[in-house]
Amino acid sequence: MQNFIFENPTKIIFGKGTISRIGREVKRFGSKVLLVYGQESIKKNGIYEQVTESLREADISIVELPGVKSNPVLSLALKGIELARKEKVDTVLAVGGGSVIDTAKTVAAGVKADHDVWDFFTYKKTIKDALPVLTVLTISASASEMNPVAVITKEESDQKYSIRSPFIQPKTSILDPTVLYTLSPEYSAYSAVDAMTHALEGYFNNSETDSPLQDRLVEAFIRTIIENTEIILKNPTDYNARANMMWSATLAFNGLTTAGMGMVSYPAHMIEHSLSALYDIAHGAGLSIVLPGWMSYTLEKNPKKFARLAREIFDVKEIDDEEAAAEGVKLLKSWFAGIGSPTSLLEGDIPESDIEKIAENAVELARIWGLKEYTKDVIVDILNLCR
Amino acid sequence: MQNFIFENPTKIIFGKGTISRIGREVKRFGSKVLLVYGQESIKKNGIYEQVTESLREADISIVELPGVKSNPVLSLALKGIELARKEKVDTVLAVGGGSVIDTAKTVAAGVKADHDVWDFFTYKKTIKDALPVLTVLTISASASEMNPVAVITKEESDQKYSIRSPFIQPKTSILDPTVLYTLSPEYSAYSAVDAMTHALEGYFNNSETDSPLQDRLVEAFIRTIIENTEIILKNPTDYNARANMMWSATLAFNGLTTAGMGMVSYPAHMIEHSLSALYDIAHGAGLSIVLPGWMSYTLEKNPKKFARLAREIFDVKEIDDEEAAAEGVKLLKSWFAGIGSPTSLLEGDIPESDIEKIAENAVELARIWGLKEYTKDVIVDILNLCR
């Protein structure tokens, strides 16, 4: 196990009927909040009403930034920064999923910066301060509610990049599993893929002899996500299934599974970022296309670890590691397909003739993330395995 | 899954060579520290030197409270409170295991109280403030380095009671696995028993259909602790084994495995507290006597869960739940015996003729902890299964 620092101070308030607590939580940090949310859905399902009522009861003034779409864009965050400055808000509250939270985090950091907020994403500048961020989670997948990461797309250059800083880590996040009852089967599936990929990218970095604990934790999350996604797709209002899925997704990318594993690289996320930067595809849907392709490409280098996944999760019996590993990739892909997530570029409506273009986009992020071995040619080879 | 709040802000600095960071960490909170430690061992193994050098480099004045023994006593904590007030320290640093940390926590809360600190332990008063507590961990078992709990014995009345408050949760804990290299085989075994029991008492509270995730997390910790304790007993300086054991013990009782399980009761701990209050026995050694007895007593009420443990951890194949459960208790007891921890009152040098007296002591704590079903007669029955 390598040296690490683990510090995750986010307060999680989890369970039925907990949204009404948000006013009191925001009040601990300020009295004028920028309320960031997406489209009309939170007005239809009553969450908007619950949140604003709780804020009003706590005497908190509300300034609204609606309109966040999935694969959130820089232009809206810039609008939010301007609005937050003009209105002098002292806190930022995200009511939504990862896209909304990441927009809120970007605004929170941007307000305090005397330069273009995009400089944080290109690693030219380091975040040194931010407004307090709080969240009410409505889509469970990104774990942004309990981590220091945000991902934003700069539209004009098709760059989907990320930031990481303790200053943007949410102070409090409210997780009420009942809000997921209305999440569509498609997005329930994409959420599962996203959460699983977070855990697995760490897992594949780990040499199992060093950190058996982290492997076992990941396997616990993967088993729980698989089991409960299958329940959710049959019965979207199964409380325990939604609750187990929601808490697993949060813990799968809050630093717990990667503590002690050194620098973890996220190649499948890196390549997927180009898919959702260039095409209108959900992040989870992009991941179910890229992850199996990346695994097939990488299989020979690390057959033992892929074989372990195959045996532990899919009960594969092959004795030979390479055969077991290949069988595991097949079974993971077929599980993704079974829950309705695309497993090829074609199924994701992404032209195979664009592979070169996608690789050119991805190699820029590979450079910024320091993934030197991911040259354009390597990325093309991986994408060819995603056909 | 039941509603819960999870908030664990302790900063963990983990790994080789990390003790030298303690000065900077203390400096974030104050400039005059009460240094709490045990006997001479930290002077012999160089830890005392590393800690005080780091504190001096950070310009921190040191006031010393040495002399904490295992099963720490109230009288020393009272002495610490007096000293801390007289010297006007602004932080408390524990360098030791659970006993030292719990003494430090008690001092930290006591300094800020205008009444007898013992009132916190009898639940007559609630902790409302405390000095910041930091730790350098030298025995890994209690998880006190990352939780809000402290256990202290009031000698004159043989009461071993506990407190729980976010105010006493450590701000920073440094975990350097190499400090465990010199931990004796006996204490390495007792540590394993203590950490396993923390995780298992939560596990036995959980109905597995509600929170499969928590069960899987506990099983991940138990497997890792078993595997690495066996390595440690063969090779006390195996870094990865010490590191995996150390991190597992911390996570096994930091709130992670019990989040979502409602009020968790700790009956084996409750009864053990009387053993170590009345006799000179290590807490872990007491637990390896009590836990199997408590399991045998409770087996009929919850055979399914005990059977799950037997199958998952000890690979028991019996199809009948009650038979599998009974076999699991036998195997757990024999594993405890195998690592050198006592599994009967006799082996722990505790007179069987004292069972009535032990039960009389324990029933008082049962009352304070709200474990109404644990009458004196029930506790006698359980202790009879620990013979």
Taking the C-alpha atoms of residue B49 and residue B56, their distance in angstroms, rounded to an integer, is 10
Query: Across residues B177-185, what is the average pLDDT?
Result: 96
Total residues found in chain B within this entry:
387
**Residue among A144, A339, A376 at smallest CA distance from A253:** A144
Q: Nearest CA of chain B to the CA of A214: how many Å? A: 9
Subunit contact A213:B227, Cβ cutoff 8 A: no
Q: Nearest CA of chain A to the CA of B260: how many Å? A: 8
Question: Would an 8 Å CB–CB cutoff place B350 in contact with chain A?
Answer: no
| Fold exhibited by the domain A11-178 | Rossmann fold (3.40.50)
User: Which CATH homologous superfamily contains domain A183-384?
Assistant: Dehydroquinate synthase-like - alpha domain (1.20.1090.10)
Q: Out of B3, B243, B251, name the one closest to residue A1 (CB).
A: B243
Subunit contact B1:A244, Cβ cutoff 8 A: yes
SS3 state at B30: coil
How many contacts, defined by CB atoms under 8 Å, are there between A and B? 121
Q: DSSP secondary-structure letter at A46?
A: S
Residue type present at position B27: K
Question: b/e map of B209-231 (b: 16 or more CB within 10 Å)?
Answer: ebbbbbbbbbbbbbbbbbbbbee
pLDDT of residue B94: 98
pLDDT of residue A258: 93
Query: Across residues B203-225, what is the average pLDDT?
Result: 89
Query: How much helix, strand and coil, in percent to the nearest 5, is found in chain B?
Result: 55, 15, 30
Tell me which chain B residues have a C-beta less than 8 angstroms from the C-beta of A218: none
Question: Would an 8 Å CB–CB cutoff place A211 in contact with chain B?
Answer: yes
pLDDT top residue among B289 and A209: B289
Q: Nearest CA of chain A to the CA of B151: how many Å? A: 24
Please name the residue of chain A whose CA is at the shortest distance from the CA of residue B256. A251
Q: Cα separations (Å) of A235 from A97, A185, A242?
A: 21, 10, 10
Question: Would an 8 Å CB–CB cutoff place A13 in contact with chain B?
Answer: yes
Question: Would an 8 Å CB–CB cutoff place A264 in contact with chain B?
Answer: no
Question: Would an 8 Å CB–CB cutoff place B65 in contact with chain A?
Answer: no
**Could you say which residues from 119 to 178 on chain A have a Cβ atom under 8 Å away from some Cβ of chain B?**
177
pLDDT, tens digit, 9 for 90 and up, residues A106-129: 999 999 999 999 999 999 999 999
**B302 pLDDT more than 90:** no
What does B37-89 look like in DSSP terms, one character per residue? E-STHHHHSSHHHHHHHHHHHTT-EEEEE----SS-BHHHHHHHHHHHHHHT-
> Hey, what are A41's tokens?
């859905």
Question: b/e map of A125-139 (b: 16 or more CB within 10 Å)?
Answer: bebeebbbbbbbbbb
Please name the residue of chain B whose CA is at the shortest distance from the CA of residue A13. B5
Q: Nearest CA of chain A to the CA of B18: how many Å? A: 8
Q: How confident is the model at residue B208 (pLDDT cuts 50, 70, 90)?
A: low
Q: Show the CA angle centred on residue B283, arms to residues B274 and B296, nearest 5°.
A: 70
Tell me which chain A residues have a C-beta less than 8 angstroms from the C-beta of B239: 1
CA–centroid distance for B87 within its chain = 30
The segment(s) of chain A belonging to CATH 1.20.1090.10 are 183-384
In this prediction the pTM is 0.96
Neighbours of A179 (CB within 10 A): 24
Taking the C-alpha atoms of residue A213 and residue A313, their distance in angstroms, rounded to an integer, is 16
Tell me which chain B residues have a C-beta less than 8 angstroms from the C-beta of A217: 217, 220
Subunit contact A5:B12, Cβ cutoff 8 A: yes
pLDDT of residue B364: 94
Question: Would an 8 Å CB–CB cutoff place A207 in contact with chain B?
Answer: no
Taking the C-alpha atoms of residue B140 and residue B298, their distance in angstroms, rounded to an integer, is 29
Q: Nearest CA of chain A to the CA of B366: how many Å? A: 29
pLDDT of residue B209: 65
Please name the residue of chain B whose CA is at the shortest distance from the CA of residue A210. B240
CB B35 within 8 A of CB B62: yes
Alpha-carbon Rg of chain B, whole angstroms? 20
- pLDDT per position in chain A (387 positions), as tens? 999 999 999 999 999 999 999 999 999 999 999 999 998 889 998 999 999 999 999 999 999 999 999 889 999 999 999 999 999 999 999 999 999 999 999 999 999 999 999 999 999 999 999 999 999 999 999 999 999 999 999 999 999 999 999 999 999 999 999 999 999 999 999 999 999 999 999 999 877 667 899 999 999 999 999 999 999 999 999 999 999 999 999 999 999 999 998 888 999 999 999 999 999 999 999 999 999 999 999 998 889 999 999 999 999 998 899 999 999 999 999 999 999 999 999 999 999 999 999 999 999 999 999 999 999 999 999 999 999
Neighbours of A370 (CB within 10 A): 10
pLDDT of residue B263: 85
Q: Out of B5, B221, B248, name the one closest to residue A13 (CB).
A: B5
pLDDT of residue A208: 61
pLDDT, tens digit, 9 for 90 and up, residues A145-196: 999 999 999 999 999 999 999 999 999 999 999 999 999 999 999 999 999 9
Please name the residue of chain A whose CA is at the shortest distance from the CA of residue B13. A5
Subunit contact A11:B5, Cβ cutoff 8 A: yes
To which H or E segment does residue A32 belong? strand A32-37
What ipTM does the predicted assembly reach? 0.95
Subunit contact B240:A210, Cβ cutoff 8 A: yes
Subunit contact A14:B243, Cβ cutoff 8 A: no
Query: Across residues B57-62, what is the average pLDDT?
Result: 98
Q: Out of A17, A217, A247, name the one closest to residue B220 (CB).
A: A217
Q: Out of A210, A213, A251, name the one closest to residue B224 (CB).
A: A213
Q: Show the CA angle centred on residue B33, arms to residues B30 and B34, nearest 5°.
A: 145
Taking the C-alpha atoms of residue B308 and residue B160, their distance in angstroms, rounded to an integer, is 32
Subunit contact A260:B240, Cβ cutoff 8 A: no
Tell me which chain B residues have a C-beta less than 8 angstroms from the C-beta of A12: 4-7, 259
Tell me which chain B residues have a C-beta less than 8 angstroms from the C-beta of A239: 1
